[in-house]
Structure 1
C-alpha cells in the first residue's frame, strides 16, 4: 500500500508494470479498483498508475465542496509527488472530466488522452440520470444509492449474467461507502462541471470512447467531445453501456493499447 501527501489530502495509489507512464482515472465512485479488469494487460505495455480520488477508497475523505477542478488539482499534485512530469491519461466518466481540465490547463503534463464514457456538456439524459441518483441518495441513503448503480453502469444482459459477483461487489461498496455528504458533494461536482471552455485548449492526441448503449453519458456526449477537440478520434463499442472496460475488457484494452502505442 502506498500513500502520497497532496496538499491537504493523503492519496492512496498503486503502480504496476513498466514502460511509458499511464494514469488510470476512475469515475464517480473514484476508486482505483474500477480498473481491475484492465491493469494486468495494460501493465504489459505501460507503467500504470491508479489511485483513489479525494473522498473515496483509502484516500482522505473530507466533507467539503467538491469540483472537477479540485480533483484535477489533486491529480497534478499526485504527479508532482511521484516525480512524474508527463503521462498519458485514461479517464472514465468523472475521470474523463478531470482529464479535460488537466490537458487544457497543463498541456505539458499530458502525452496522450483517452476520454471514455465522459462528457463536456451535461445533456438532458445525463442530467435526468444524475438527478434520479441524487434524489435516491437523499431519500434512501448511501446503501440504496450504491445498489442502484448497476442500472446506470451495465447493460441488462451483463447484470443478469454476472449477478452473483455484482451482488457481492455491491455489498462491499455499501460497507466501504463514503458518507452521504461526500457522495452528494461529488455528484454536485459532476452536475456543476462545464467542460466546453476547456476543449479548444486540449492539444494532446485524444481518443474518445463510448458504447452505443451507454445511458449515462450517451454517444451524443462523445460526439461533442470528438468534434470540439482538434484531431480527436471517436471509437464506438456496440455493447458495454457505461462500463465497457468491465463488460468488454479485451476490446477496451486493445483500443487503449493501440492508441497509446501509436
Structure 2
C-alpha cells in the first residue's frame, strides 16, 4: 500500500484498474481490504474504472491524530488525497461514515465530484441511531473508549438482517468470530474515538439535511431494507432533497448489506454509473433506479 501525507496526516491508499476514477470511502473502522472482500473494487476495475481505496484517518495503516475528528476533517483528507493523485471529477462511493464524507465533499468541492453514491448513510437522524450515539458518547466519557464487547454486539445486531439473527445461529457465530478481529483495524484508540465523535457531530447537525439542496452532482442514495440506522424511508427523504437525487433499495439486507448482499449492491451501483454516463441529460430529482 502506498501513502501520501495530507496536512500532516499520512493516508494509506491503493489504486486498481484504469479509466474514469471511482474512490471508495469506508465506514467506521473499515479497512480498504473490505472493498476487495465484497468484490466491489475488482468488479469496478474490471468494468473500466480506476478504483482508489484508502484508509481514513484512524484506520491502519493511516495515522491517527488526537481525537476528536469531524467529517470536515475526513472530507479535507479525501480532497487532499485526490489532489495529490491528480484526480478531479471522480465518482465518490461512501458507505456509512464514508457516506457522510462523500456527501460533504460533493457539497464543498464540486470540482472533485462528478457523481456520488451515499450507501447506508443518508437521511435524518432516527430514534434508534440517536440512542446508539448517546450510548457511544457515554461509554467514551466514562471509560475512555468503546469496549470491544459493545462494538461487537452493536455491529452484529446492525449488520445482519433479522431473519439471520433469529434463525441462523451458525452464521451469527461466524460473524462474531470475524468481528473479534475488528480491533486490529484501528491505528489506535484515538482513531476509534475520533471517528465516533465525527459521526456524532455530523448526525446531530440540524442544518445538514437542508444542505443537501446545495449538491448539484447526481447522487444515488442506496438503502438496505432492514437498516436500523438509515432505513429506506430516511433514504427516500434524502434523495428527494437532492437536486439530482436517485434512490435504490436492496431487499433483505441490513446495515451490513455491502458485505451480506454484495452482488445486489454492486449491481445497483453499476446501474447508476451507467445512467450517469449514458443518460446525463435526463436526470430528475427523486428518481428511483430500483
TM-score calculated relative to the size of structure 2: 0.83
Q: Is the 8 A contact 2:225 2:231 kept in 1?
A: yes
Mind listing any 5+ residue stretches in structure 2 that lack a counterpart? Answer: 276-290
Structure 2 CA distance for partners of 1:58 and 1:145, relative to 1, 3 Å: farther
- Is structure 2 residue 193 aligned with structure 1 residue 184? yes
172, 183, 198: which one aligns with 2:181: 172
Match of 1:207 in 2: 220
Moved more, 109-118 or 130-139: 130-139
Work out the CA distance in 1 between the residues paired with 2:150 and 2:120: 20
Q: Is the 8 A contact 1:134 1:184 kept in 2?
A: no
Q: Is the 8 A contact 1:199 1:229 kept in 2?
A: yes
Tell me how far 1:101 sits from its aligned partner.
Answer: 0.8
Work out the CA distance in 2 between the residues paired with 1:164 and 1:21: 38
Moved more, 150-159 or 231-240: 150-159
Tell me how far 1:164 sits from its aligned partner.
Answer: 5.3
Structure 2 CA distance for partners of 1:176 and 1:114, relative to 1, 3 Å: closer
Deviations 1:121-151 (A, max 9, x none): 3222211122234445655843223322121
Work out the CA distance in 1 between the residues paired with 2:219 and 2:120: 14
Query: What is the RMSD of the two structures over their aligned residues, measured on CA atoms?
Result: 2.0
Q: Is the 8 A contact 1:154 1:242 kept in 2?
A: yes
Deviations 1:93-133 (A, max 9, x none): 11111111111111121111111101343222211122234
Match of 2:126 in 1: 123
- Is structure 2 residue 11 aligned with structure 1 residue 11? yes
- Is structure 2 residue 100 aligned with structure 1 residue 97? yes
- Is structure 2 residue 152 aligned with structure 1 residue 147? yes
Deviations 1:3-61 (A, max 9, x none): 11111100011111222110111112242233221222122121111111101121001
TM-score calculated relative to the size of structure 1: 0.91
Query: Equivalent residues in 2 for 1:34-45 (5 A)?
Result: 34-35=34-35, 36-37=37-38, 38-45=40-47
Query: Equivalent residues in 2 for 1:1-262 (5 A)?
Result: 1-35=1-35, 36-37=37-38, 38-45=40-47, 46-135=49-138, 138=142, 141-148=146-153, 149-158=155-164, 160=168, 162-163=171-172, 165-193=174-202, 194=205, 195-262=208-275
Moved more, 131-140 or 112-121: 131-140
Deviations 1:175-227 (A, max 9, x none): 44354443233222112113224311111111111012000222232122111
Structure 2 CA distance for partners of 1:258 and 1:150, relative to 1, 3 Å: same
Tell me how far 1:167 sits from its aligned partner.
Answer: 3.3
Q: Is the 8 A contact 1:66 1:189 kept in 2?
A: yes
How many positions carry a matched residue from both structures? 262
Mind listing any 5+ residue stretches in structure 1 that lack a counterpart? Answer: none
Structure 2 CA distance for partners of 1:121 and 1:17, relative to 1, 3 Å: same
Work out the CA distance in 2 between the residues paired with 1:23 and 1:131: 31
Moved more, 77-86 or 133-142: 133-142
In our comparison, the structure showing a higher alpha carbon Rg is: 2
Tell me how far 1:156 sits from its aligned partner.
Answer: 3.9
